Structure 1
């Protein structure tokens, strides 16, 4: 019985009809894209498909002219490629990039890779020009008489298309990028014609090998890999120069359909596509039958090299990497703006040689986190920096946090970021001694410890007033109450003893004599500034006595390490920096500004400061437990802020200067007491000698092993004894007479006009240092003259 065919019987016929419609559409698309534009502009008769010879008429000439008049705007922009940030030993810290690409020369791409790409995408690449007439005819025939769809663009045309799309994307023109690869519509026809013209011109100016090399450096190979070198390293774990037949065919097969034939996500499709390519290589005579059979029967053999964004988040040293990035963002040699410089870092293929030493980094990081574990229950943070004296190179940087881009732990607590830094406590005392040496005080000189004259919260204190600190850097009308951490007898005390025991009242008196403004200038000479949390910037240390004497102002570990490094380097200051050199992708060096080094203080004065601060690690010092192994010389200073919110140890050997900070890094303002931090139980309060100093010692011992034992040069007897010249009594003398007297004594004179003192106009009412004090030859004496 005959009846209606079943639905199952109808469906194949429907498929056949759809296939026929698809075939017609493919042919029309192929013909339309080429013929429509060719006829419209006379291109068909212009000699691109047919030779002009023998053809006449205005149409031909017009077509030739119109085609030739299409502007050759195509320019091969420099390819975006990854940069490399290298440690001191050449190991890779990070590879910043927008596109993970490593551009290589033709010689680094093996013949087998070039052959594989030609075989699977454009077998007549070496025979035709920009347009393959035979290929177009074959594609039309194939699309007309079979269900398959073939394209007819050459490798040169494909290169132009992908390059045009990339250029549009880089310029931010998303519409142009879309048009660059559009397959239908009037704009697509115009685009194809323009790209054909570019391809024709490119074939005139470039060799086939140059075009193929550029193509293989440009195209996308899936898995966020751009260019054959990055792809080879990612998929097979080795450079492109070592690709086998099977590996090359795998990569060549990925280019056309990077998602569908991705060997990681779709290994079966990748092998099928690979084997098609290998067979084509056999058919085209690139390899022998035996070579091809062996390659076809081989496994994919992927050896994936995982790579992420290549940025600091995935670096082994994320905080240091971030420090390098921020430093680069400030270098004019890499661009006019911060955006341009960071763009160059991500796309320029730079090779950035840093001063990071992995061994020092490992020692610092391990010791810091051993003493102050990450996410410890006491909510205490820590950070440390190692700097080389005499160069400013930052060799290590660590903190006890896990780097997180999404969270606050991406903040680098060691450097001078906006709203960073911590109060430095008694490490500030080094600046008072620097200024004391500058004003001619001797290492063996003394300062009078005042007798306590009040109590504060049940603790004996000395109240400093405007009588102690007059003038613009003075105390004003308020009272500054200063106590000591232990009982100290009143009376004369050597600078070394006052430093070793960190006697606050002694330093209050010393700074009152030196002048807070002068001590503030010592901070500046050694490159130390204070964080201004309101503005988010960095400015001069507040000249009020509390900031100047006891370090209530906030600074950073990198600044403090570098200040001590300046003293260790005989007074030579070099701005801290993480980068030694930068090379462009072509190997040429980037002309960076030289590291600004200067003599911040005379060598003799620096040696006097170092001699005094050696006492801190001596038997009576606040950091006697931090004395280094093997009898190595070092100087340093502990620091503790009221409430133990911030504690420090900063110290230096002749080879390395290290700063360690331990304290509250967030909004927690609870005093650090009665808590356990790592192996240390803190009772009443945390001090700089409790954790910061042991971390410093363990780190310095580790990084000093094997180094020669160096000693700090001893200062001359004049700096130690300081008995050369006594400042004369100059009160009441005219400015000219006072200057003449100082010149006779081989002392320098500077003048400050100030309307104080019971003297006549134009007379000296005070000198600094005061009359009767002994200073070295050539030292400065400030004359205060009544206007």
Structure 2
């Protein structure tokens, strides 16, 4: 060894050089090791200790799937949102331009295909140069070593300690990096390593991987990158922020030209090509990749999709696992939103309720017989600014954090349906004075008479004849009429029916004022319920997603529609015949979209919220306008400025109805001109067919028996029951239904397993005061 190599260096530098040599000898096992051993004592190591430390390192580096951005698509396949922690789209090496490959190899590791895991010449040169300079002035890592470092950082998943360890400027880190690099080279081809590197590297400005970088900086794909573009991108990986062309164009150009000159020096390109390209401008055509639902054209539908998927255990055992898959899995999420419907809904909501109003306007659209959610719109956009919110008022609380609003008289439709189902003729009349008192214990709940000795005094806010029938009482939304009708039907069946149609109601809401809508609901709740009427009694759970695909286009999961016959089709036909009168001459006549439609208005006590829930045979929608204070709590709409007008009074037909009407008028052009099925008479008594008993039968035998009776049979999920496993536990509906209705056959999974009791107390649901704050003044 030349003595002059260490001349003039302080002792610390000498030891540092020796450490470098020892590191190289330990890893490579080359002739240099013989030179390092005599100095081992000086460096504080022994050759044996170094060898043992190398042997203790892991043999292989696990290369997990790289985080990739997820796309959310509308029903036609157009992207409406992208989600990612790292903006990356993996591409195979064959889809990266040859020029880009040559540029990155030339500037980062020109002997990549000739050497092994470690480029010895480059590493020694860089290590000694950096030691002499007292800092990092020259890079010496091979592409394989760089990939190891990038992989460790990426797989740290934001763990600051792990990231710090991956970047640590120490011999220990370098030793570990080299061992991993050797393992990678043994396990994978050079092409695989280079492909992985180009997909892992960070190119600045939020772009990870060469495909995302090509799209971001040049609005092109990696396979189409030319020399000027390739040289710029290849230069970025050394220091993505220092050479960021969107903020540091001059430095970026200098670095690009260094790459071009290096390519010419290595004869990858000619001097003439280099000179010509050096003279060119950067040629940026920046295209940002929006991240998250806040940047979507359907913000709250997107948010609903994410939160809906987060509840699916098939996407991961824990919430963290599901979130990682959704935001980093490179998924293609195919949804049900129709952007034509979405634009119409959003335009209508925004024109009737301004974002800065002390009120919320919202609308949900659901397709009957599929449950497909076609649009979700609300007046306050997503964000933290003035007049913005992250609360999704259009969906149930578990998907949007908003508690919902009382639906008022839109709940009368459930009492109407229960009455028809109980063979109460549509021509039946009830006295309807402007005010009437009802003993609360005269109303039957599922557990017997309502436990209260109070009198419920009901007031009308609309006028009607003295003894209206079910048509007039509904179309004019007469409160005293419906209190009397509910007294006859009982509260239990309307409550059960509302639940079967998608409204999540606890038993505590079995109160006399149920018919006046005292439980908080969302527009999506009401839209799916009224879609059940439109679908002739078939209730389908709201479905925002139809399918999820992975990065290779393989289907990870399909979401089939989930439907059950919630009420017999003749009953739904009769309800439709009554509710179409609301639009065809009733309170909602001004909302008529020009094709068969039905609906119901709703207003709560004190005008805190007003509703219109309506539908055609092919689409259902529920619109709400509700007063809210700065804390987000309900308050009256009276005297508020909403949509540029002061509301001295409000109602479902005049305040919420126009949101529904304008939306349906805009989209009527895309809806088939179908009509409702007319009931065979004004009284549907006798039209319902008994459903045969099938409990204990095999599925095939039960299916044959149900279809022989004139119904359609479908297989339902398993249910615990006393019936033997694999046989039919029960049918739903199980009593009566209309000809052709869908009967779901639920399969028994056997008795419920006994669980050992755990300690702890219980409690009863709160009862609330009679009427629960609704004195029956809510109108239609």
**TM-score grouping bracket, smaller chain normalisation:** 0.7 to 0.9
Residue 708 of structure 1: aligned partner: 672
Residue 462 of structure 1: aligned partner: 436
Residue 545 of structure 1: aligned partner: 512
Distance 1:280 1:323 in 2: 51
Q: How far off is 1:671 after superposition?
A: 3.5
Q: How far off is 1:267 after superposition?
A: 1.3
Residue 562 of structure 2: aligned partner: 596
If the length of structure 1 is used for normalisation, what is the TM-score? 0.79
Q: How far off is 1:440 after superposition?
A: 2.0
Q: How far off is 1:206 after superposition?
A: 1.5
Residue 140 (structure 2) pairs with residue 152 (structure 1)? yes
Which SS does the other structure have where 1:129 is aligned? coil
Residue 739 of structure 1: aligned partner: none
Which SS does the other structure have where 2:546 is aligned? strand
Which one of the candidate residues 475, 481, 491 is aligned to 1:500?
475
- The answer on whether the counterparts of 1:473 and 1:517 sit within 8 Å (CA) in structure 2 is no
Which SS does the other structure have where 1:462 is aligned? strand
Which one of the candidate residues 457, 466, 475 is aligned to 1:481?
457
- The answer on whether the counterparts of 1:426 and 1:640 sit within 8 Å (CA) in structure 2 is yes
Distance 2:15 2:283 in 1: 42
Pairs aligned (count): 671
- The answer on whether the counterparts of 2:26 and 2:33 sit within 8 Å (CA) in structure 1 is no
Matches within 5 A, 1:728-747: none
Residue 311 (structure 2) pairs with residue 325 (structure 1)? no
When Rg is computed on C-alpha atoms for both structures, the one with the higher figure is 1
Residue 118 of structure 1: aligned partner: 105
**Cα-to-partner distance string for 1:438-483 (whole Å, 9 max, x where unaligned):** 21233x3313124x4xxxxxxx410011464256453621111112
Residue 395 of structure 2: aligned partner: 415
Which SS does the other structure have where 2:311 is aligned? coil
Instruction: Flag the 1:217–1:177 CA change in 2: closer, same or farther, 3 A.
Output: same
Q: How far off is 1:22 after superposition?
A: 9.5
Which SS does the other structure have where 1:661 is aligned? strand
Instruction: Flag the 1:367–1:270 CA change in 2: closer, same or farther, 3 A.
Output: same
- The answer on whether the counterparts of 2:391 and 2:402 sit within 8 Å (CA) in structure 1 is no
Residue 638 of structure 1: aligned partner: 601
Q: How far off is 1:654 after superposition?
A: 1.2
**Cα-to-partner distance string for 1:715-745 (whole Å, 9 max, x where unaligned):** 234x6353789xxxxxxxxxxxxxxxxxxxx
Residue 341 (structure 2) pairs with residue 360 (structure 1)? yes
- The answer on whether the counterparts of 1:45 and 1:60 sit within 8 Å (CA) in structure 2 is no
Instruction: Flag the 1:277–1:551 CA change in 2: closer, same or farther, 3 A.
Output: same
Instruction: Flag the 1:67–1:368 CA change in 2: closer, same or farther, 3 A.
Output: closer
Q: Which runs of 5+ in 2 are unaligned?
A: 1-6, 37-45, 689-708, 710-736, 742-780
Residue 520 of structure 2: aligned partner: 554
RMSD: 3.3
- The answer on whether the counterparts of 1:380 and 1:662 sit within 8 Å (CA) in structure 2 is yes
Residue 371 of structure 1: aligned partner: 352
- The answer on whether the counterparts of 1:368 and 1:399 sit within 8 Å (CA) in structure 2 is yes
Distance 1:62 1:373 in 2: 73
Which one of the candidate residues 551, 555, 572 is aligned to 1:606?
572
Matches within 5 A, 1:490-529: 490-491=466-467, 493-529=468-504
- The answer on whether the counterparts of 1:414 and 1:557 sit within 8 Å (CA) in structure 2 is yes
Q: How far off is 1:674 after superposition?
A: 4.6
Instruction: Flag the 1:395–1:25 CA change in 2: closer, same or farther, 3 A.
Output: farther
Distance 1:298 1:26 in 2: 44
**Cα-to-partner distance string for 1:654-673 (whole Å, 9 max, x where unaligned):** 11101000121335665433
Which SS does the other structure have where 1:689 is aligned? helix
Residue 68 (structure 2) pairs with residue 81 (structure 1)? yes
Which SS does the other structure have where 2:361 is aligned? strand
Residue 157 (structure 2) pairs with residue 170 (structure 1)? yes
- The answer on whether the counterparts of 1:82 and 1:97 sit within 8 Å (CA) in structure 2 is yes
Instruction: Flag the 1:288–1:560 CA change in 2: closer, same or farther, 3 A.
Output: same
Which SS does the other structure have where 1:704 is aligned? helix
Residue 544 of structure 2: aligned partner: 578
Q: Which runs of 5+ in 1 are unaligned?
A: 1-19, 51-58, 453-459, 531-538, 726-745, 747-774, 780-787
Instruction: Flag the 1:637–1:252 CA change in 2: closer, same or farther, 3 A.
Output: same
Instruction: Flag the 1:562–1:140 CA change in 2: closer, same or farther, 3 A.
Output: closer
Q: How far off is 1:121 after superposition?
A: 1.0
Instruction: Flag the 1:655–1:523 CA change in 2: closer, same or farther, 3 A.
Output: same
Distance 1:466 1:44 in 2: 95
Residue 301 of structure 1: aligned partner: 283
Instruction: Flag the 1:465–1:101 CA change in 2: closer, same or farther, 3 A.
Output: same
Distance 2:602 2:130 in 1: 82
Residue 195 of structure 1: aligned partner: 177
Residue 399 (structure 2) pairs with residue 424 (structure 1)? no
Residue 85 (structure 2) pairs with residue 98 (structure 1)? yes
- The answer on whether the counterparts of 2:464 and 2:472 sit within 8 Å (CA) in structure 1 is no
Which one of the candidate residues 659, 662, 669 is aligned to 2:622?
659
Q: How far off is 1:370 after superposition?
A: 1.3
Residue 156 (structure 2) pairs with residue 181 (structure 1)? no
Which SS does the other structure have where 2:662 is aligned? helix
Instruction: Flag the 1:776–1:85 CA change in 2: closer, same or farther, 3 A.
Output: closer
- The answer on whether the counterparts of 1:278 and 1:296 sit within 8 Å (CA) in structure 2 is yes
- The answer on whether the counterparts of 1:84 and 1:351 sit within 8 Å (CA) in structure 2 is yes
Moved more, 553-562 or 197-206: 197-206
Instruction: Flag the 1:62–1:591 CA change in 2: closer, same or farther, 3 A.
Output: same
Residue 777 of structure 2: aligned partner: none
Distance 1:338 1:197 in 2: 35
Residue 693 of structure 2: aligned partner: none
Instruction: Flag the 1:251–1:25 CA change in 2: closer, same or farther, 3 A.
Output: farther
Which SS does the other structure have where 1:622 is aligned? coil
